Every structure is written in structure tokens, then in C-alpha cells.
Amino acid sequence: MESSDVPSTAPADRPARLAVGVVGAGRVGTTLGAALALAGHRVAAASAVSDASRRRAAERLPDAVVTTPQEVVAGAELVLLTVPDDALPELVNGLVATGVPVQGKLLVHTSGRYGVRVLEPALRAGALPLALHPVMTFTGRPDDLDRLAGISFGVTSPETLRPVAEALVVEMGGEPVWIPEERRTLYHAALAGGANHLVTLVAEAMDLLRAAGVGDPAQMLGPLLGAALDNGLRLGMNGLTGPVSRGDAGTVAGHIAELEKVSAESARAYVAMARLTADRALAAGLLRPEDAARLLEVLADS
């Protein structure tokens, strides 16, 4: 179906299968485009700038014509805007400024940071705005598509479009989770803090183990960190173990002293996390006040 044949009607009145356009054929855009194709939609066009994104589009979206963002939007009924967060406002404003037809089209961005307010210029031009953020990290490998099965999507939309947003997530294999517009940044901060900082903590632990003479840090850490993650997800702070939870101020002081010999940055990070851990353990009733006082004294001296 060409864009000129698409009536400007509500999504519920349209044919079930849609012509999809992908603006930004990166890891996320090509993965979601491929998922929508598996669900029976037709990925008609994609925009790609780098050689890597062109290769991804050719591999994952073989029926899509690679063209300009304006042409992608013009020929689609459902448009995925899968560009970096900082580029999204400029992209939306630019598309509207060029006069590309958006009336009656589903305009979907995948940014965790933004809700639908960032799409306001397109909304005023008649677009139907949705924010669908897949809570997953994508590597560009072939198994990215498999990772969509059962994951959460942070969904924000006008209330009238909520059923459409949730149906699209289900079609892609995900589970929709409603995030109010005003909580979007907090939601994204929680995800970024958990996932991104986890990678840093793991890499840091592996480096320190290598410095301690361990030949295969990943093999040593894998079972321990897997169990710790499982405990945290199932039990929250009640899954905490280790010297902070026991109030072992002397052990913590020894850790800090040794870390300072290796890396001042590592020591500062350890102290910051130990303070937060002690505060949360005290609030959860896992740490006695007198033990917490000794710990916090050690951490303050550091």
C-alpha cells in the first residue's frame, strides 16, 4: 500500500498489517523492524547513514528500500524513530519543518529518556505518538531478535492510543509496562544505573582479580555474581551478604586501604557503594545501629 492510499483514520480503523518505516537502522531499529516483519507487517523503507547500518538493514530488513528519513516517513503508516536520545528532538522538528506528511501515522520512538512530549511538533501536525522502550541491551549480533521474547517495554502514549501501543509490544514478543510521562526520566535513570553500572562493576572486579593473580576472573566471578543477581531480584536487600551486611568495619577498612594502593578511583567507588549499601542495610533492619556507626566512621575517614 502506498502512502497516498492510506486514509487519515484512527489506528483501530486501519488494516491490521501496516507499512513500517525505520528512521535509524541501528541495532534497535533493525531488531524491532525485523520483529514487526515477523508479526506480519511490511517493512517498506529504512534510513541508514553508516556502512554498518546499511549492512544491518540489508541483513535484517531485506525488503526495505534504503532512502532518506523524509521518504521513509512519507511511505509508512508506522514509523520507528530509532536514533540516539540527543538526536531525537532535532529529528522530530526537522521532519515537521520539511512538511513530510505525518497526519494519521503512528510515530514511535524507542528512547527510554523521553515520553511522548518530545513528539509534540509531530502531534500538532496530526501524528499519533507512541514511546515504546525495549528494556534490553542490543549488541548487533543475530541473537538480538531472540532477546525480545518476554522482555519489558516501557510504554508511554496518549490514553486513547494505549491499546495500540500495548498491542504492538505484544506483537514484538514483549510485555508492555505503563510509564507515566512525568516519571520517564526516573524510569530511565533506574535502568541505566542498574545495567550500565553493573557492567562497570563487573569489569572493575575482573581487573582487580587479575591484579591479585587470578588467571580467569570471569570463571571465578560468574557463579558468585549470578547468585548475587538472583538474590537481589528475588529478595531485594534481604539478599545482601558480605562484610557490610555483617558490620565488619575492620574488613571494610582493609579493603579500602588495599584498593588505594592499586587505584584511587577504585577506592572511591568502593567507598561510595559501601555507604549506600550500609544505609540501605540499616534501613532494612539488616545492620544494627552500632555496627552501622562503626562502618560509617570508617567510610567517613576514607
Which domain-ending residue is among 146, 164, 179? 179
Query: Same domain for 154 and 207?
Result: no
pTM, entire model: 0.87
- pLDDT tens for each residue of the chain, 302 residues long: 344 343 344 444 444 689 999 999 999 999 999 999 999 999 999 999 999 999 999 999 999 999 999 999 999 999 999 999 999 999 999 999 999 999 999 999 999 999 999 999 999 999 999 999 999 999 888 899 999 999 999 999 999 999 999 999 999 999 999 999 999 999 999 999 999 999 999 999 999 999 999 999 999 999 999 999 999 999 999 999 999 999 999 999 999 999 999 999 999 999 999 999 999 999 999 999 999 999 999 999 87
Q: How far apart are CA 184 and CA 120, in angstroms?
A: 16
Query: Same domain for 54 and 90?
Result: yes
Kindly report the CATH number assigned to the domain that includes residue 173. 3.40.50.720
Q: Cβ contacts of residue 270 below 8 Å, gap of 6+?
A: 255, 256, 259
Q: How far apart are CA 298 and CA 291, in angstroms?
A: 11
Query: Same domain for 51 and 105?
Result: yes
Q: How far apart are CA 212 and CA 64, in angstroms?
A: 52
- The sign of the torsion formed by the CA atoms of 233, 236, 237, 238 equals negative
Query: Same domain for 163 and 190?
Result: no
Query: Same domain for 191 and 153?
Result: no
* Helix axes 264-283 and 184-211, enclosed angle (nearest 10): 120
Which domain-ending residue is among 130, 163, 179? 179
Q: Biggest alpha carbon distance in the chain?
A: 74
State residue 16's pLDDT score: 60
State residue 80's pLDDT score: 98
Query: Same domain for 222 and 136?
Result: no
Which domain-ending residue is among 120, 153, 179? 179
Query: Same domain for 119 and 248?
Result: no
State residue 15's pLDDT score: 43
Number of compact structural domains in the chain:
2
Query: Same domain for 114 and 196?
Result: no
**Residue 112: strand, helix, or coil:** coil
Query: Same domain for 190 and 168?
Result: no
What range defines the domain where residue 10 resides?
3-179
Query: Same domain for 192 and 55?
Result: no
Query: Same domain for 133 and 229?
Result: no
